Structure formats: C-alpha cells, structure tokens
C-alpha cells in the first residue's frame, strides 16, 4: 500500500487469472461476455448475496447510493441496520466520510465503463465496532437493454486483523504467499477463494 | 379473476412484477427474492412472502421506473405516493 492511502488499485489480470477468486472471475467474465449488458442469469442471482448494487453516479469524493446489498456482503455484516426500511438516513451515511472519500476514485472510473479492482486495508476508517480488515473490491458497470444502469460491487473479505496486530507483522507470516507473481498487497492476506468452504454459489 | 378478487398485497406484487418486466429489471426481483428466500421462484412464494418481497424490492425497482417516466397507478386502494418508492 502507498503511504497516502489505504486503497491500492490492482491490475484486472488478477481477476482474469483467478488470483482474485472465483466469484470475481465469474463476475468479470460475465461482464465481458455480455458486453456490460445485464441479462437475467441464475448464476448471477446466486452471486447476488455477495453483491452491492449502486446508482451510476456520485458526488466527487463520495460513494454512490446503495440500491441493493446482498445478505453475505461485508456491508450487511457490519452495518446491519443501514438498509432498514425505517432508517432515517441514507445507507451510505453509515460509512464514515474518511472511508467514503478513500474509496471514491474507483467509482469514478467504473461510471465511465471500465472495471476496477483494488485492495483495501481499512484500519479504523470504518468506525468503532468495525474491525480492521483487508478487503478486495471489484466494480463493474452493468446496463439493461432498457438503459437502467447499476454498478456491481463485489467486496471480498480477505482478512480480519486484530487491532493489536497493527504493529506486529510477524503474526501474519503464516498467510504469506511465496509466489513471485502475487501483488505485495496480497502478501498478508488469504486468497479470496480460500476464505470460503468451497464453491457455495 | 377481476381486480376486486385480488388482495391489496397481491395487487402490489403484480404491479411490481409488471413494472420490473416492463423496465427490464426482473433480475433485481430475482436478487431480492434469492436473498430473502434462497431461491428466485416467486411463483413458489406465499402471498405473505410476496408481500414481504414487494416491500423489500419496490424502492429499488420503482426508483428507476419513475425516473424513466413511469407514473404509479393509484389503483383501487387509493393514491400512491411516488416519494414512497424513491430510495
């Protein structure tokens, strides 16, 4: 990670070669095969518990309005009341501004049509009660034939760090991968597909 | 069946399904159904479950439809507030 941000863009080749996990690979492959057109597909429906959908626009330095959050998303897990029908404020306002600002650039890219992949080390930016995590995020833009656009966000939780571990790098050595083609940002993380018990979608 | 033979909840779900189909976003209904009931077969849902699905999905589906010119039909049970459907 660079010194100035907690978000590190990653090459999409990580998704194409499977390094970013099978769900990300499926999402990007579907986007490519359909040329960004969203078609009803039971496989995409089965992926939906891990997807966040948003509107295709946002103010500079902010994230777009969330329209759907799958039940397995980190957003649902750590902000379970954000999408309650009786919530008194927008779901995205549950995310601290410092986090929203830090992850906003990826959305500006995907609004224009290009997919985006990054890795994040959240630290304390998601607020009290939310752990320090390493997250991998893939964003793609889908449009229906009638022109309805949604941004699909697949956020994979790679690791939850104990707060006291922030200065103790040695405790994470067991997760390090020795393959030379792994991005440095992955080196303290588990591979996305290794976080789950098989292919459950 | 005539409109009078449907319950309010049944009519609301039918309207939501029709709008999702018209604006090509049935996939959103599939997503919501799968997340709530672990399958996407709305025909297998009870009326109560369909009503729950309609509550969950309507904001998502109607927001786009209204922006694209859809005018909510007040229907036989009174006026529908457009703002109710906006996220």
Query: In this predicted structure, what is the pLDDT of residue B12?
Result: 86
Q: Flag whether A46 is in a domain.
A: yes
Q: Flag whether A117 is in a domain.
A: yes
Count up the domains in chain A and report the number: 1
Selecting from A45, A53, A144 the residue whose C-beta is nearest the C-beta of B40 gives A45
Sheet with A51-54: list strands edge to edge.
A7-9, A116-121, A132-143, A149-161, A51-54, A66-69
Q: How far is B69 from chain A (nearest CA, A)?
A: 12
Q: Flag whether A2 is in a domain.
A: no
Q: Above 0.95 for ipTM, yes or no?
A: no
In angstroms, what CA-CA distances link A193 with A42, B21, B81? 21, 34, 45
Tell me the three state secondary structure of residue B15.
helix
Average pLDDT over residues A114-120: 97
Q: What range does the domain containing A125 cover?
A: 7-195
Q: Flag whether A201 is in a domain.
A: no
Q: Flag whether A200 is in a domain.
A: no
Query: In this predicted structure, what is the pLDDT of residue B10?
Result: 87
Cβ contact A143:A113 at 8 Å = no
Of all residues in chain B, the one with the smallest CA distance to A149 is B64
Selecting from A65, A145, A148 the residue whose C-beta is nearest the C-beta of B87 gives A65
Residue of A59, A55, A33, A35 lying closest to A148 (CA atoms): A55
Interchain CB distance below 8 Å, B35 and A70: yes
Of all residues in chain B, the one with the smallest CA distance to A201 is B38
- pLDDT tens, B11-29? 889 989 999 998 888 999 9
Q: Flag whether A100 is in a domain.
A: yes
% pLDDT > 70, chain A:
79
- pLDDT tens, A14-62? 999 999 999 999 999 999 999 999 999 999 999 999 999 999 999 999 9
Q: Flag whether A102 is in a domain.
A: yes
Selecting from A44, A70, A71 the residue whose C-beta is nearest the C-beta of B27 gives A44
Can you say whether the dihedral through the CA atoms of A26, A47, A51, A41 is positive or negative?
A: positive
Q: Flag whether A130 is in a domain.
A: yes
Please report which confidence band the pLDDT of residue B60 belongs to, taking 50, 70 and 90 as the band edges.
Answer: confident
């Amino acid at each position: 990670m660079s010194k100035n941000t907690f978000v590190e863009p990653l090459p999409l080749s990580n998704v194409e070669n499977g390094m970013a996990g099978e769900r990300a690979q499926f999402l990007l492959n579907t986007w490519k095969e359909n040329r960004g057109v969203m078609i009803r597909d039971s496989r995409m429906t089965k992926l939906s518990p891990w997807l966040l959908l948003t509107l295709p626009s946002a103010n500079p330095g902010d994230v777009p309005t969330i329209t759907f959050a799958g039940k397995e998303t980190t957003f649902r897990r750590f902000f379970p009341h954000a999408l309650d029908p009786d919530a008194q404020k927008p779901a995205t306002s549950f995310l601290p501004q410092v986090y929203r600002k830090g992850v906003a650039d990826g959305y500006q890219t995907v609004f224009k049509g290009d997919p985006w992949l990054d890795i994040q080390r959240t630290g304390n930016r998601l607020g009290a009660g939310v752990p320090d995590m390493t997250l991998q995020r893939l964003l793609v833009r889908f449009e229906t034939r009638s022109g309805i656009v949604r941004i699909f966000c697949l956020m994979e939780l790679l690791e939850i760090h104990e707060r006291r571990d922030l200065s103790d790098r040695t405790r994470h050595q067991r997760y390090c991968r020795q393959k030379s083609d792994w991005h440095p940002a992955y080196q303290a993380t588990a591979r996305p597909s290794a976080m789950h018990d098989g292919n459950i979608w | 069946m005539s409109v009078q033979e449907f319950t309010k909840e049944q009519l609301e779900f039918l309207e939501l399904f029709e709008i999702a189909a018209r604006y090509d976003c049935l996939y959103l209904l599939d997503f919501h159904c799968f997340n709530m009931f672990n399958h996407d077969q709305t025909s297998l849902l009870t009326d109560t479950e369909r009503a729950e699905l309609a509550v969950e999905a309507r904001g998502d589906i109607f927001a786009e439809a209204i922006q694209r010119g859809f005018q909510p039909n007040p229907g036989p049970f009174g006026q529908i507030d457009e703002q109710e459907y906006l996220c």
